[in-house]
Amino acid sequence: MKLKYLMTINAVVCLVIGIPMLLVPAQLMSLYGLNLNPGGIMMTRLYAGALLGNFLVAWFSRKDTGSISLYAAILYLFIYNGINFLVTLWAMLEGIMEILGLTVVIIFFLFTISFGYSLIAKLKLT
């Protein structure tokens, strides 16, 4: 997959999840079997801010053809998605999230693999 499309897909996913997470965090998280107290709502909204920041990084990097900033964005998105893959996988294995949480695990896994591949491809070009 072309990096431009990967960045665009990542941006759209971050936007589509980030906005409801910011506006209606308790309702969104209840779909995954998570009940939030006020502290959980605050942390979910903080995470929504990170998702919206990721949206901007991916969206504005999607047309870059090879600057050091593009490399930094790919590295950032690889690490971000990799950590979140491990955290959500752990949550699924511990039974913290219901079965719908598996979609989150899969999304983070796919983005981790895709950005990892892109990172390797960019390193080969330098």
Can you tell me the distance from the alpha carbon of 116 to that of 3, in angstroms, rounded to the nearest whole number?
Answer: 11
**pLDDT above 70: residue 126:** no
Dump pLDDT digits (tens) for 67-123.
Answer: 899 999 999 999 999 999 999 999 999 999 999 999 999 999 999 999 999 999 877
How many domains is the chain built from?
Answer: 1
Q: Supply the pTM of this predicted model.
A: 0.91
d(CA 97, CA 113): 23
CA angle 120, 71, 19 (to 5 degrees): 110
The residue with tokens 């919206």 is 52
| pLDDT, tens digit (0-9, with 9 covering 90-100), for 23-48 | 999 999 999 999 999 999 999 999 99
- The CA-CA-CA angle for residues 81, 76, 38, to 5°, reads 55
Pairwise CA distance, residues 48 & 70, whole Å? 23
Which structural domain, as residue segments, surrounds residue 37? Answer: 3-125
